[in-house]
Amino acid sequence: MKDLIQKLVEVWGPSGYEHHVRALIQAEVQAFVDEMTVDALGNLICRVGSGPKKIMVAAHMDEIGIMVTFREPKTGYLRFANLGGLIQTTLHGSRVRFEDGTVGVVAAPDAFGASRTTAPDLDSFYVDVSDGTDADSITPGSPAAFWRPMESRGSRLISKSMDDRVGCAVAIETMRRLQKQTPHSLYFVFTVQEEVGIRGARPAAFSVEPDLAIALDVCPTGDEIQGERNVVKLGGGAAIKLQDTGLIVPPAVRDWMVDRAEADKIPYQFELIKAGTTDAAGIQIARAGVPSGCISIPCRYVHTTSEMVDLGDVEACVGLLTGLLSHDVTI
pLDDT in tens, the chain (331 residues): 999 999 999 999 999 999 999 999 999 999 999 999 999 999 999 999 999 999 999 999 999 999 999 999 878 899 999 999 999 989 999 999 999 999 999 998 876 655 566 778 899 999 999 988 777 779 999 999 999 999 999 999 999 999 999 999 999 999 999 999 999 999 999 999 999 999 999 999 999 999 999 999 999 998 988 777 788 999 999 999 999 999 999 999 999 999 999 999 999 999 998 889 999 999 999 999 999 999 999 999 999 999 999 999 999 999 999 999 999 998 8
Q: What is the pLDDT of residue 116?
A: 62
Q: Which CATH superfamily is domain 65-146 in?
A: Peptidase M42, domain 2 (2.40.30.40)
Per-residue three-class SS string for 51-69: CCCEEEEEEECCECEEEEE
Q: What is the pLDDT of residue 274?
A: 87
* All residues at 6 or more sequence positions from 109 whose CB lies less than 8 Å from its CB, including other chains: 115, 120, 124
Q: What is the pLDDT of residue 252?
A: 98
CATH topology (fold) of 2-63+160-326: Aminopeptidase (3.40.630)
C-alpha–C-alpha distance, residues 244 and 118, integer Å: 29
Q: What is the pLDDT of residue 136?
A: 77
Give me the residue spans of the domains in the chain.
2-63+160-326, 65-146
Q: What is the pLDDT of residue 219?
A: 96
212 touches 54 (CB < 8 A): yes
Q: Beta strand pairing status for 212-220 and 292-299?
A: parallel
Q: Beta strand pairing status for 35-38 and 65-71?
A: unpaired
27 dihedral zone (left: phi>0; alpha: psi -120 to 50; beta): alpha
- Same fold across 2-63+160-326 and 65-146: no
315 catalytic residue (yes or no): no
* Choice among 28, 63, 194, 315 that is catalytic: 194
Rounded to the nearest angstrom, the gap between the alpha carbon of residue 118 and the centroid of all alpha carbons in its chain is 28
Q: What is the pLDDT of residue 60?
A: 98
pTM given for the model: 0.95
C-alpha–C-alpha distance, residues 146 and 106, integer Å: 10
Short-list 319, 57, 327, CA closest to 212:
57
**For helices 311-326 and 162-178, what crossing angle results, to 10°?**
50
